[in-house]
């Protein structure tokens, strides 16, 4: 049995934003990535492994596999956690490949009506608009606070609609939104050691206000003047992951303006997922584009908060916190940005803390942006495995470095009854101030 | 394939565990090698009983059946060369029993090699065979190919660490061979089955020996200005009857590729390095290391570094074990060989490989288990260019012929598979091969298990092989 090439090649990828031979042909199909891929570990299927997905990209590009339902399913099921990039000796930039592939799917593959409308609404009409995020959050708050949520849970209506797991993942809407802090400057405590801009996020501004405030407290306590520039919008990470690159490009243009207006020592984010995309803004443009040099300049300033603090060194005195904690690597920090030591170093800097490593701490928790909403069943299986590893450490606190992971792990702790508290690294530092 | 067979498989295993659509089958037509062969149906058993029923069905319909673990093999062993049923063990991946006191573990074939070590290292043990793909490859594949690895020099290959097997015969019968003891009465069928490349029976359970982690380990990196100095060092270490745990050679070309990824501090300007490891009792390894250091210096090593901690040691090994994969940085495809030569012939053979490379217009990288004389020359080629592919295969053939001519072998650890089946007559007489065929016939009379492997078809490589990449003409589409 031999592989006979199809006589009439299919149409393959086309236009801009497509995976290129030079990128995917770096894969020499050695298979060293397999056991690092959460979906391969889950299903044991080559088509749901990094090597298999790259092979499918190659086959589509060579016109031998249809850019159709089967291909789209396997690409959709990828978490884009990029653990395979860490495992890959050949330096395949898998994240880039899958994101470009999704751009092709977005342009060429007709999805069902519901999915199309939902994607359209979310990526094009919600995320880029802070006002709409704010309105949607107020509505969600009514659902959560006025008893509707309790009602829906009690009556089993959510279970009936198959939404019970998803509802648990819904973040609690903040009482106060972070939008009100935009444009403010927070002075450094003591001698000023750095002047930084803070990237506040989009949905995080209505759900992670406390995390953002903790981040500012930790930064200012360590001698940073923190500016929250006006005019900043969503980073575009979710759009990039979904292949909606035009929206991401517009958001990037806007953010480049907002953050390059003034000179800062660094631009800081507390969201590893956002940080990874922000650092990769150059990928959204061609080298000849006017935005490209700006994206490069911005990339040089961009720092994850843990990366920045570990580099700067902690100056604020820290109280003793006699606690056993375990650290879950956020994928877009460990694999996307290759930052593993900085968060651990900060955690260990707190007197009294015992950091216990969990088994496979750098395996994805299943959050993966909106994966837990789009591929809920797979996400929940991955989460169950993660909670077993986390519980085995007997640490009452799980620390991580990204809002998406916080939501997922909090849902995991509730669903699996591990009674563990889930904190961001800066929230832990904030407690010790 | 007859849709009746597919439906029957779906009844046995459930629809979720059977793939038969063209796009799904295309995911199993490749492995870590450069070969391509598409199965007709892919199945995922979970239990020995599943395998029995699959085999019985294959037998009833006289359909070929081939096993596959993670598909990291380098000789096409896990490819369905003649189509039929490909049995993938990725979901049969449970560790069934760990018996630390008696240093045994019983595992299903789909368990990843390194996961065995992960499961027992807390108690101070590990599974010794360490193929470079150990973070992905499965124990079933290791057994089929009798896999080696850097540390086989001291610790032996897979067969030295497998004590018992549960296998399904082509008839569907389940056999248990060997056991938990080191030697069982009667024929050593375990020894026969390990390395039989899935042509005698299908392995469904493996009893392995666990090895105690050494008290101490010392890792040396000897750096050379010439390849000859490095290979002569190896010959002398052998001559002085020193057996390190591992002795690996990497040439300057490979080092530069690897260093770009691993940042272990490999010297970029050197011609070659030896990565030598000694382990055992603390006092013993100090003496051994000192003697090795002497030999390195005697053969003009520019510098010998000693890894100062386990982190540095791990980094050096990470570089070595990921070397093949790292080649993708330079070339979209590579063809790696697996020749074995007497260690005393190392210097001359490397010179010969260089000559062959020049003749065919390739720069051939060399990285190998020097202590075993197990060579892995890597030939880079672009699969879009049919001519390059053919020249790569021809160059590889000459290298293999040279290995045999100096008293060596065509495979040290990757297996014959279908990559090297046509080279077998270079090593064995017809009588030798007939004896092996007789063994196969005793187990697998209808030839349904992994057909097209090990034994030559009697045709030239070029006739048997297909283009190694699913590539249509090189013109843009």
> Residues B45, B14: one domain?
yes
Distance from CA of A230 to the nearest CA of B (A): 40
Return all residues near B166 (Cβ < 8 A) that are at least 6 apart.
B48, B174, B175, B176, B203, B204, B205, B206
CA distance B20 to A42: 20
Residues in chain B with pLDDT < 50? 460-466, 468, 471-477
CA A102 vs CA A9, A45, A241, B187, B383: distances in Å: 21, 20, 7, 57, 26
Average pLDDT, chain A: 94
Report yes or no on B316 lying in a domain. Answer: no
pLDDT, tens only, A208-228: 999 999 999 999 999 999 999
* CA-based nearest residue in chain A for residue B259: A89
Quote the tokens at residue A230. Answer: 């006006």
**B112 token code pair:** 């990843």
pLDDT score for A159: 75
Per-residue pLDDT tens for A313-341?
A: 999 999 999 999 999 999 999 999 999 99
Q: Is residue B393 part of a domain?
A: yes
In degrees and rounded to multiples of 5, residue B441 shows phi and psi of: -65, -35
> Measuring CA to CA, which residue among B193, B147, B200 is closest to residue B171?
B200
Tell me the chain A residues in contact with residue B266 when contact means C-beta distances shorter than 8 Å: none
Residue B456 lies in a domain: no
**Whole-angstrom Cα Rg for chain B:** 22
Q: B79 to chain A: nearest residue by CA?
A: A1
- CB pair distance less than 8 Å for A62 and B471: yes
Nearest chain A CA: its distance from B408 CA (Å): 26
Residues B71 and B31 both lie in one domain:
yes
Nearest-Cα residue of chain B relative to residue A4: B470
What is the CATH topology of the domain spanning A21-108? Fumarate Reductase Iron-sulfur Protein; Chain B, domain 2 (1.10.1060)
Residue A153 has pLDDT above 90, yes or no: no
- What beta strand segments (E) does B264-311 contain? 272-280, 303-306
Rounded Cα–Cα distance for residues B343 and B351 (Å): 14
Domain-embedded: residue B457: no
In CATH, A318-432 is 2.70.50: no
Question: Is position B186 within any domain?
Answer: yes
Supply the CATH number for residue B408's domain: 3.30.70.2740
| A55: nearest CB among B30, B80, B84 | B30
Task: State residue A7's pLDDT score.
Answer: 52
Domain boundaries, chain A: 21-108, 318-432
Same domain (yes/no): B111, B188: yes
Q: How far is B300 from chain A (nearest CA, A)?
A: 31
Closest alpha carbon within chain A to B26: A3
Instruction: Determine the straight-line distance between the first and last CA of chain A, rounded to whole angstroms.
Output: 67
Q: Do residue B258 and residue B349 come from a single domain?
A: no
Query: Does residue B435 lie within any of the structural domains?
Result: no
Using 50, 70 and 90 to split pLDDT, how confident is the model at A71? very high
pTM for the model = 0.93
Q: Which residue has the higher pLDDT, A150 or A433?
A: A433
Which residue of chain B comes nearest to A6, CA vs CA?
B472
Q: Are residues B19 and B36 in the same domain?
A: yes
B224/B304 same-domain check: yes
Closest among A41, A35, A109, A47 to A75, alpha carbons compared: A47
Are residues B294 and B363 both part of a single domain?
Answer: no
Q: How far apart are CA A243 and CA A410, in angstroms?
A: 28
The answer to whether A200 and A210 are in contact (CB under 8 A) is no
pLDDT at A259: 98
The verdict on B354 and B262 lying in the same domain is no
Nearest by CB to B332, from A25, A30, A71: name it: A25
Closest CA in chain B for residue A47: B27
Chain B segment 431-470 residues within 8 A of A by beta carbon are: 466, 470
- Relative to beta strand A353-355, strand A323-327 is parallel
Please check whether residue B142 touches A, CB under 8 A.
no
**Whether residue B224 sits in one domain with residue B203:** no
Smallest Cβ distance to B90: which of A27, A36, A44?
Answer: A44
pLDDT (0 to 100) of residue B476: 33
Residue A2 scores a pLDDT above 50 = no
Domain membership flag for residue B287: yes
CATH at residue B13: 3.30.43.10
Report the half-sphere exposure of A108 (CA within 13 A, side-chain side). Answer: 22
* CB pair distance less than 8 Å for A35 and B24: no
Q: Are residues B167 and B251 in the same domain?
A: no
A189 pLDDT exceeds 70?
yes
* Per-residue pLDDT at A164: 75
- Closest partner residue to A1 (CB to CB) among B80, B91, B327 is B80
pLDDT recorded at residue A430: 98
Positive/negative CA dihedral, B381, B248, B77, A51: negative
pLDDT at B203: 98
Query: How is residue B236 written in tokens?
Result: 């002398």
Q: How confident is the model at residue A4 (pLDDT cuts 50, 70, 90)?
A: very low
Task: Report the percentage of chain A scoring pLDDT > 90.
Answer: 85
> End of a domain among B88, B116, B146?
B88
Secondary structure letter of residue A171 according to DSSP? P
pLDDT one-digit tens code per residue, A398-409: 999 999 999 999
Final residue of a domain: which of B197, B212, B227?
Answer: B212
Using CA atoms, how far residue B214 sits from B121, B210, B280, B281, B375, in Å, is 12, 12, 5, 7, 27
* Residue B200 and residue B241 in contact, taking contact as beta carbons nearer than 8 Å: no
In this structure, the answer to whether residues B31 and B109 fall within a common structural domain is no
| Test the A interface: residue of B81, B470, B473, B476 with most A CBs within 10 Å | B470
Cβ–Cβ of B70/A35 closer than 8 Å? yes
d(CA B171, CA B159): 25
Number of domains making up chain B = 4
Q: How far apart are the first and last CA of chain B?
A: 31
Q: Which of B385, B415, B445 is the last residue of a domain?
A: B415
Best of A32, A33, A359 to disrupt the B interface by mutation (most B CBs within 10 Å)?
A32
Contact B294, B242 (CB under 8 A): no
A46 at B interface, C-beta within 8 A: yes
For residue B88, which residues of chain A lie inside 8 Å, CB to CB? Answer: 44
Does the beta carbon of B39 lie under 8 angstroms from any beta carbon of chain A? Answer: yes
How confident is the model at residue B17, as a pLDDT?
97
Task: Sort out which chain A residues have CB atoms less than 8 A from B466's CB and list them.
Answer: 2-3
Task: Decide if the complex's ipTM is over 0.90.
Answer: yes
Backbone φ, ψ for residue A5 (5° rounding): -65, 145
| Strand B303-306 to B333-336 pairing | unpaired
Residue B337 belongs to domain spanning: 331-415
Rounded Cα distance between A425 and A144, Å, is 27
Nearest-angstrom CA–CA distance, A99 and A110: 17
Q: Is A372 exposed, middle or buried (0-12, 13-18, 19+ CB in 10 A)?
A: buried
How far apart are the CA of B105 and the nearest CA of chain A, in angstroms? 20
Contacts of A36 in chain B (CB under 8 A): 135
Q: pLDDT tens for residues A98-120?
A: 999 999 999 999 999 988 999 99
Give the pair of three-digit tokens for residue A235.
């980073």
Residues in chain B: 477
**Domain containing residue B240: CATH number:** 3.30.70.3450
Contact A242, A210 (CB under 8 A): no
Whole-number Å distance between alpha carbons of A393 and A355? 10
Q: Find tokens 């096993």 and name the residue.
A: B67
Backbone angles phi, psi at B19, to 5 degrees: -120, 130
Question: Largest Cα–Cα distance of chain B, in whole Å?
Answer: 69
């Amino acid at each position: 049995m031999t592989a006979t090439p199809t006589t009439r090649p299919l149409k393959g990828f086309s236009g801009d934003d497509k995976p290129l031979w030079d990128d995917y042909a770096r894969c020499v199909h050695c298979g060293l990535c397999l056991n690092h891929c959460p979906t391969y570990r889950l299903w044991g299927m080559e088509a749901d492994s990094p090597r298999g997905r790259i092979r499918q990209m190659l086959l589509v590009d060579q016109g031998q596999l249809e850019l159709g339902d089967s291909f789209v399913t396997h690409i959709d099921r990828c978490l884009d956690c990029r653990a395979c990039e860490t495992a890959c000796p050949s330096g395949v930039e898998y994240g880039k490949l899958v994101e470009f592939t999704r751009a092709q799917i977005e342009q060429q593959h007709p999805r069902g009506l519901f999915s199309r409308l939902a994607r359209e609404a979310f990526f094009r009409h919600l995320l880029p608009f802070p006002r709409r995020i704010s309105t949607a959050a107020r509505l969600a708050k009514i659902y959560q606070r006025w008893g509707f949520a309790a009602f829906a849970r009690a009556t089993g209506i959510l279970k009936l609609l198959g939404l019970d797991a998803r509802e648990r993942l819904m973040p609690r809407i903040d009482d106060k939104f972070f939008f009100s802090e935009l444009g403010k400057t927070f002075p450094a405590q003591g001698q000023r050691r750095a002047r930084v801009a803070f990237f506040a996020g989009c949905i995080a501004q209505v759900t992670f206000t406390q995390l953002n405030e903790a981040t500012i407290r930790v930064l200012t306590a360590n001698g940073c003047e923190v500016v929250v520039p006006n005019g900043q919008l969503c980073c575009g990470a979710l759009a990039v992951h979904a292949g909606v690159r035009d929206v991401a490009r517009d958001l990037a243009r806007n953010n480049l303006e907002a953050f390059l207006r003034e000179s800062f020592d660094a631009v800081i984010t507390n969201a590893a997922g956002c940080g990874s995309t922000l650092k990769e803004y150059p990928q959204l443009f061609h080298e000849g584009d006017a935005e490209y040099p700006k994206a490069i300049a911005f990339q040089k300033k961009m720092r994850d908060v843990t990366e920045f603090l570990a580099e700067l060194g902690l100056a604020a005195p820290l109280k003793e916190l006699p606690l056993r904690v375990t650290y879950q690597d956020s994928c877009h920090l460990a694999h996307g940005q290759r930052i593993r030591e900085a968060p651990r170093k900060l955690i260990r800097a707190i007197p009294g803390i015992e950091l216990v490593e969990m088994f496979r701490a750098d395996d994805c928790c299943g959050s993966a942006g909106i994966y837990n909403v789009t591929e809920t069943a797979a996400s929940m299986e991955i989460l169950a495995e993660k909670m077993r590893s986390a519980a085995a450490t007997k640490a009452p606190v799980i620390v991580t470095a990204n809002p998406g992971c916080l939501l997922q792990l909090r849902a995991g702790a509730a669903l699996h009854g591990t009674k563990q508290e889930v904190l961001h690294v800066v929230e832990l530092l904030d407690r010790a101030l | 394939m007859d849709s009746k067979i597919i439906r029957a498989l779906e009844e046995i295993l459930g629809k979720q565990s059977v793939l038969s659509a063209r796009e799904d089958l295309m995911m199993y037509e490749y492995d870590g090698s450069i070969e391509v062969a598409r199965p007709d149906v892919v199945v995922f058993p979970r239990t020995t009983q599943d395998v029995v029923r699959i085999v019985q069905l294959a037998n009833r319909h006289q359909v070929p059946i081939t096993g596959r673990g993670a598909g990291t093999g380098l000789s096409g062993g896990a490819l369905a060369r003649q189509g039929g049923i490909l049995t993938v063990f990725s979901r049969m991946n449970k560790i069934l029993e760990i018996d630390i006191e008696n240093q045994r573990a019983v595992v299903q074939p789909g368990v990843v090699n390194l996961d065995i070590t992960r499961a027992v290292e807390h108690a101070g043990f590990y599974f010794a065979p360490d193929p470079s793909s150990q973070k992905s490859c499965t124990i079933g594949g290791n057994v089929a190919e009798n896999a080696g690895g850097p540390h086989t020099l001291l610790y032996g290959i897979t067969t030295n660490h497998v004590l018992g097997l549960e296998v399904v015969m082509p008839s569907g019968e389940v056999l248990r061979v060997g056991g938990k003891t080191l030697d069982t009465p009667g024929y050593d069928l375990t020894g026969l089955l390990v390395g039989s490349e899935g042509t005698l029976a299908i392995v469904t359970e493996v009893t392995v020996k666990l090895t105690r982690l050494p008290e101490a380990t010392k890792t040396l990196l000897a750096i050379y200005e010439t390849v000859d100095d490095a290979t002569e060092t190896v010959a002398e270490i052998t001559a002085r009857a020193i057996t390190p745990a591992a002795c690996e050679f990497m040439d300057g070309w490979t080092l530069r590729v690897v260093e770009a990824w691993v940042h272990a501090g490999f010297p970029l300007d050197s011609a070659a390095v030896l990565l030598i490891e000694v382990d055992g009792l603390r006092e013993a390894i100090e003496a051994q290391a000192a003697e090795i250091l002497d030999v390195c210096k005697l053969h003009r090593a520019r510098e010998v570094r000693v890894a100062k901690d386990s982190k540095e040691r791990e980094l050096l090994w990470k570089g070595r074990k990921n070397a093949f994969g790292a080649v993708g940085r330079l070339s979209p495809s590579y063809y790696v060989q697996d020749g074995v030569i007497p260690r005393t012939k190392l210097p001359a053979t490397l010179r010969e490989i260089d000559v062959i490379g020049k003749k065919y217009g390739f720069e051939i990288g060399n990285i190998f288990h020097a202590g075993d004389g197990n060579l892995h020359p890597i030939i880079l080629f672009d699969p879009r260019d049919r001519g390059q592919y053919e020249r790569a295969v021809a160059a590889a053939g000459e290298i293999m012929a040279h290995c045999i001519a100096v008293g060596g072998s065509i495979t040290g650890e990757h297996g014959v598979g279908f990559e090297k089946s046509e080279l077998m007559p270079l090593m064995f007489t017809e009588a030798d091969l007939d004896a092996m065929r007789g063994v196969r016939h005793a187990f697998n009379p209808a030839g349904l298990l992994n057909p097209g492997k090990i034994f030559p078809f009697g045709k030239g490589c070029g006739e048997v092989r297909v283009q190694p990449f699913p590539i249509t003409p090189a013109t843009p589409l």
